[in-house]
Structure 1
């Protein structure tokens, strides 16, 4: 799934969540998908959507060397 950088000031967002690193607001233009990876524009943290209802964001796992083998 492609990574997205999301604006923190999207006025017509479908959903919003909080960055667990900096508490910045993450606004989604469309309903987020479980497993979606986004980047917080406030601190640059890579975050994964781990729950849609309620919306929960957690630090995305780092890709290991052996992934995809």
Structure 2
């Protein structure tokens, strides 16, 4: 269990999570990235930017 940085709701996590894994907040729907494993810390996942071939 961890806390959503967007809405402060509890986010249930699988038993084994890895750094860089993306999980969704069930309350606000934010995409969250696991940034630390012990204890599990979540941060808002970065938005993917369009690559227009530049």
TM-score by length of structure 2 reads 0.85
1:51 aligns with 2:36: yes
2:46 paired residue among 61, 64, 67: 61
1:17 aligns with: 2
Unmatched 5+ residue regions in structure 2? none
Shift of 1:29: 2.8
Shift of 1:27: 1.1
Q: CA RMSD for the aligned pairs?
A: 0.9
Shift of 1:28: 1.5
Distance 1:46 1:29 in 2: 15
Task: Tell me whether 34-43 or 24-33 shows the greater mean CA deviation.
Answer: 24-33
Unmatched 5+ residue regions in structure 1? 1-15
Q: Which runs of 4+ in 1 moved over 3 A?
A: none
